[in-house]
């Protein structure tokens, strides 16, 4: 498990029985005012069997429609050279100052992924809702790179937060 906290984001990762989980929490500010591309995030699984490397890009973009809605996109790209296929999943949540979900999380996955990209997108975000977002959580899960828990520290698996506030959706 590795942890870090720099440039306004928190990071940790852990091993799960057949893979790895990474978690980024980014602080954001007034996303409705500007187009924003975050500095690319990197993730290396440190797997003893099939280590994999990933580049993560997040982007907010204002659309040319009547209400000036925004589109949020995430791109998870595998950048190592191994041909071993893994399962990759992403889950992105958007929180307000009270740590309540502002709108629907994004989730996406590919079962057998080698040199490819996994994309997720949320469209038609109202500027008024975007202005409430103060943090973005990105969870990445990489599976099928190793098996078993007995040969390394058996990290506990954190359960996902299931509390979804639907009142604002």
Give 20 or 62: the residue with its C-beta nearer to Zn ion: 20
Give 47 or 122: the residue with its C-beta nearer to Zn ion: 47
CB of 18 to Zn ion, least distance (A): 7
Give 21 or 146: the residue with its C-beta nearer to Zn ion: 146
CB of 21 to Zn ion, least distance (A): 11
Q: Which long-range contacts (CB under 8 A, 24 or more apart) does 23-26 make?
A: 23/137, 23/138, 23/139, 23/140, 24/56, 24/137, 24/138, 24/139, 24/140, 25/135, 25/136, 25/137, 25/138, 26/58, 26/135, 26/136, 26/137, 26/138
Give 39 or 151: the residue with its C-beta nearer to Zn ion: 151
Q: What is the dihedral of CA 127, 135, 155, 5, to 10 degrees?
A: 140
Classify residue 66 by its DSSP letter. T
Q: Which listed range, 46-54, 72-80, 96-104, 119-127, lies at the site for Zn ion (CB under 5 A)?
A: 46-54
The verdict on 21 binding Zn ion (CB under 5 A) reads no
Q: Mark residues 126-165: x for contact with Zn ion by CB under 5 A, - for none.
A: -------------------xx-------------------
Residue from 10, 47, 114, 126 touching Zn ion (CB under 5 A): that is: 47
d(CA 126, CA 58): 18
Give 22 or 134: the residue with its C-beta nearer to Zn ion: 22
d(CA 144, CA 87): 6
CB of 5 to Zn ion, least distance (A): 24
CB-side neighbour CA atoms (13 Å) of 65? 13
Q: Which residues bind Zn ion (CB under 5 A)?
A: 47, 145-146
């Amino acid at each position: 498990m590795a942890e870090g906290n720099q440039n306004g984001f928190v990071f940790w990762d852990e091993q799960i029985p057949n893979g790895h989980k990474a978690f980024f929490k980014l602080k954001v500010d007034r996303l409705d005012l500007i187009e924003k591309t975050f500095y690319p995030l990197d993730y290396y699984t440190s797997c003893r069997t099939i280590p994999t490397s990933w580049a993560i890009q997040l982007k907010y973009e204002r659309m040319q429609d009547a209400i000036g809605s925004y589109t949020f996109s995430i791109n998870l790209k595998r950048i190592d050279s191994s041909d071993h296929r893994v399962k990759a999943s992403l889950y992105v949540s958007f929180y307000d100052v009270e740590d309540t979900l502002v709108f629907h999380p994004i989730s996406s996955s590919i079962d057998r992924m080698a040199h490819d990209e996994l994309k997720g997108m949320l469209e038609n975000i109202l500027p008024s809702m975007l202005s409430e977002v103060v943090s973005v959580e990105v969870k990445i899960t990489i599976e099928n790179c190793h098996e078993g828990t007995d040969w390394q520290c058996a990290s506990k698996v954190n359960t996902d937060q299931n509390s979804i506030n639907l009142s604002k959706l």
